[in-house]
Chain A
Amino acid sequence: MIRHLLTCSFSVALASLAAAQQDVTAYTNARVLAGGRPSMTNATIVVAGGKIVAIGTDVAVPEGAGVVDCTDKTITPGLIDASFVPGISDNDANEQSDEVTPHLRILDSLDPEDPTFRRARRDGVTTAHVMPGTQNVIGGLGCVIKTHGDDPDAMVVKQDASVRIVMGSEPSMRNRAPRGGRVESMYYRRPTTRMGVIWAVRRAFYDAQEAMQKTQGAPDQGAPAPGIEVLTRVLQGKLTAVTTARSEQDLRTALRIAGEFGYQTVIDEAQDAYMVADELAAQSAVVMLGAPSATSVSGGGSRDGAAPRSGTVRALADKGIKFVITTGTNTRRLPLIREAMFAARNGLGPQQALDAITIEPAKLLGVDDRIGSLAAGKDADFVIWSQDPLDPAAVAESVYIDGKSVSQIR
């Protein structure tokens, strides 16, 4: 019986090896910017079963493998947009019945055939961090998702990757002030000011703290409300808080509130980050810079008092502040690679610029074990560029997700 089982498992192993052998492809003679390390020339990447199985300059092409000659081409990891705005209407990206909805998932509103995913793939973006909209004080849970697939549940890399908190005037814009609104409307409520926004954040975290203390004292009290449960995870350091703040005053407030409740926050957008570089460095905050090239931003708040500068990336790099580059809410809608190019033109080293759209966002989102760099065992998400990707004429000729071609431009 045991021998029979061993024979069976051996034949299964052989069969799976043979099946795996069929889809082995080697990408040869490429210049490879693997992410997080210097470039390699004349390198080979071997892909099988949707994963990278070998990478390097001394890698032999396996027998029977398909070969793609990448002479004169550059290969980078698939790009990761850490603040991607999908084509979901504002009405569906923001639950307006309440200002604090930490438990709602933007994943529930995603359509895999959304044209913004197609555009992202065409521009070399293979993974996106999607968050709820910016009209709520605490909008809900963001997810990390591949930009190709036919089922969001299968495309997900990390389901509950972050919870979005928003500073500034946007969350309060549609609410009606005590004077000048219909009293029976549900928008007749706080906040209508920046002060009110902070009050809502503080009250939510205060409730979460209180719920934690109660649960510690009496563990049989049952689960807290779903929103409170999400915020307790933030306070326990188990869930990343992403605070969207644009102007200097909002950035300072975001850091102050995080300090007050003792959680670590990532700052999203952060156009005025250059003004508070010392404070960011002191709190070891990570910045998701909303489009280095942005001179204005979309959304009801517009620039919201911020004064974007092209030198922000350099200022952050000089202070040793960790940051990633995103497309954010830039009204110009430049592809992510062009934002990295813009950053490189404004004083950022080329490798640092590329890392800021590949391995750094992967680390920030806690998915660097699967994506963000090219190494054996990682997902085969990569881009073959016509030339150096930071060259303005560079085109993402072939884009692969899990080893499958998802975009071809010749």
Chain B
Amino acid sequence: MQRITHPLVGAAMLAAIAAPACAQDLLIKAGRIMVAPDSILEDSALLVRDGKIAYVGNDIPTEARARAREIDLGDHTVSPGFVLAATTLKSDADLAEGAFAFTPDLRVAEAFDAWNEHLEHLAPSCVTSFGMAPSPRNVAGGVGVLAKPGKTRGRIAAEDAFVGFSLVSAARSQERDPTSLMGARSLLSDAFEAARVGVEVGPDLAVLRQVMSGARSAMIYGDTYAELNAALALGKQFNFTPVIIGARDAHKVMGKLTERGASVVLGTLSPTKRVAELELPKKLADAGIPFCFAGRPDQLRVSAALAVRHGLSREAAHAALTRTPATLLGQQSAVGALRQGCSADFLVFDGDLLDLNARHIATWVDGVLLCGAEQTQNQHSAGANR
């Protein structure tokens, strides 16, 4: 599919790239830096240049260290920002064509509102990037993007990141085709078949071809057993590995999820959920099924903490907030970790982020402080005493 960049989006991207270029390098020093879930540095530092992580720990050259503006966070913990795997930012009405259920060639990038009021809730909830998905109201909704909140406005970080499909009841409208799950499954399987055998295909089927070739990942909304079974069967039939969003009945299809190498985006958890739901993350981790959370941004941290409370390892919980969603969106080299070359999207806590007593101090996106304080007096003195 030909990429078409919206002028406004392009301008926003240019502005985002250009602004930090003039800024001074930042040297972020902290007691604990979680580069990735399995790589934690003690009493170390990051060098941020042009909104990206330029150096980590001992790799920072002395002259760069000397030139940079130092922010000493004392014994605080720095973590990669959370990646929200899928959201519509409550703009569903603009993210699903009402009259047609099959619109895989529509682009979420064209519906992205950089001034969406819900963007401002993301940084306080520790979310530094998110997959903006088509609404689950259409069987084949369109192509989603990776986007980020910003100081004044959001921006698209990666266009055309994944294709969104849906088999949930919301996709089965009583006012247009299809109205049933068997109709939805038949619609998708006929379309994939046409994309596979067709000689000249239109833009919609071309998107399905990209899914079959592995060029784009497929995210499929599915909750019940029959929906999950249909998503996995489609993946098997047309040789793609689905990422399933919702997956309420995932415990019923664990074997098939493992066999197909599928991944799962669970709804956020709350203490009032049934124990079986709270234990599902651990079961998925034990079965080697990659998973992360999506739903209410302000519940992401609580979800991971609850999953740990119900047996999940801390490393897996941290991965579910950062590295796994980045990987599922195909953006692991850009977000979800604090490795060299990644975006400088990070969070500051005054303790372990999975301990809910620990305070969230600050959220940085692309090396810019979006919420919280750069450094407090006691942090500064703590750093000085060290």
Q: Do the two chains belong together in a single complex? A: yes
The reply to whether the CB of A104 lies closer than 8 angstroms to some CB of chain B is: yes
Which size class do B's interface residues fall under? Answer: 20 to 34
Residues of chain A within 8 A (CB-CB) of B292 are: none
Q: Bound state CA distance, A98 and B180, in angstroms?
A: 11
The reply to whether the CB of B16 lies closer than 8 angstroms to some CB of chain A is: no
The reply to whether the CB of A152 lies closer than 8 angstroms to some CB of chain B is: yes
Residues of chain B within 8 A (CB-CB) of A103 are: 186
The reply to whether the CB of B190 lies closer than 8 angstroms to some CB of chain A is: yes
The reply to whether the CB of B252 lies closer than 8 angstroms to some CB of chain A is: yes
Q: Bound state CA distance, A226 and B252, in angstroms?
A: 31
A95 and B252 contacting across the interface, CB-CB below 8 Å: no
Q: Which of A96-119 contact B (CB under 8 A)?
A: 96-98, 101, 103-106, 108-113
Q: Report which of A92, A93, A105, A150 forms a contact with B252, defined as CB distance below 8 A.
A: A150
Q: A108-B226, A151-B256 are in contact. Are A97 and B182 (CB under 8 A)?
A: no
Q: Bound state CA distance, A92 and B230, in angstroms?
A: 13
Q: Report which of B178, B224, B225, B233 forms a contact with A97, defined as CB distance below 8 A.
A: B178
Q: A104-B183, A108-B230, A109-B226 are in contact. Are A95 and B190 (CB under 8 A)?
A: no
**Most chain B beta carbons < 10 A, residue from A92, A98, A132:** A92
Residues of chain A within 8 A (CB-CB) of B256 are: 151
The reply to whether the CB of A140 lies closer than 8 angstroms to some CB of chain B is: yes
B180 and A104 contacting across the interface, CB-CB below 8 Å: yes
The reply to whether the CB of B339 lies closer than 8 angstroms to some CB of chain A is: no
| B275-300 vs A, Cβ < 8 Å mask (1 yes, 0 no) | 00000000000000000000000000
Which size class do A's interface residues fall under? Answer: 20 to 34
Q: Bound state CA distance, A113 and B252, in angstroms?
A: 9
Q: Report which of B172, B176, B180, B230 forms a contact with A186, defined as CB distance below 8 A.
A: B176
B182 and A96 contacting across the interface, CB-CB below 8 Å: no
B176 and A92 contacting across the interface, CB-CB below 8 Å: no
B176 and A108 contacting across the interface, CB-CB below 8 Å: no
The reply to whether the CB of B179 lies closer than 8 angstroms to some CB of chain A is: yes
Q: How far is the CB of B302 from chain A (nearest CB, A)?
A: 29
Q: Bound state CA distance, A95 and B230, in angstroms?
A: 16
A186 and B182 contacting across the interface, CB-CB below 8 Å: no
B177 and A92 contacting across the interface, CB-CB below 8 Å: no
B182 and A95 contacting across the interface, CB-CB below 8 Å: yes
Beyond the given A92-B182, A106-B182, A109-B226, could you list 20 further A-B residue pairs with CB under 8 A, ordered by the A residue number? A91-B169, A91-B174, A92-B226, A93-B180, A96-B174, A97-B176, A97-B177, A97-B179, A98-B177, A104-B183, A105-B182, A105-B186, A108-B229, A109-B180, A111-B224, A132-B182, A150-B252, A151-B229, A153-B233, A186-B177
Interface residues of B, Cβ cutoff 8 Å to A:
169, 172, 174-183, 185-186, 190, 224-226, 229-230, 233, 249, 252, 255-256
Going nearest first, the 4 A-B pairs with the smallest beta carbon separation are A97-B177, A95-B183, A96-B179, A111-B225
**A-B residue pairs in contact (CB < 8 Å), sample of 26:** A91-B169, A91-B172, A92-B180, A92-B226, A94-B179, A94-B180, A95-B182, A95-B183, A97-B178, A101-B183, A103-B186, A104-B183, A105-B182, A108-B186, A108-B226, A109-B181, A110-B226, A111-B249, A111-B252, A112-B225, A113-B225, A113-B252, A150-B252, A151-B229, A153-B233, A226-B186
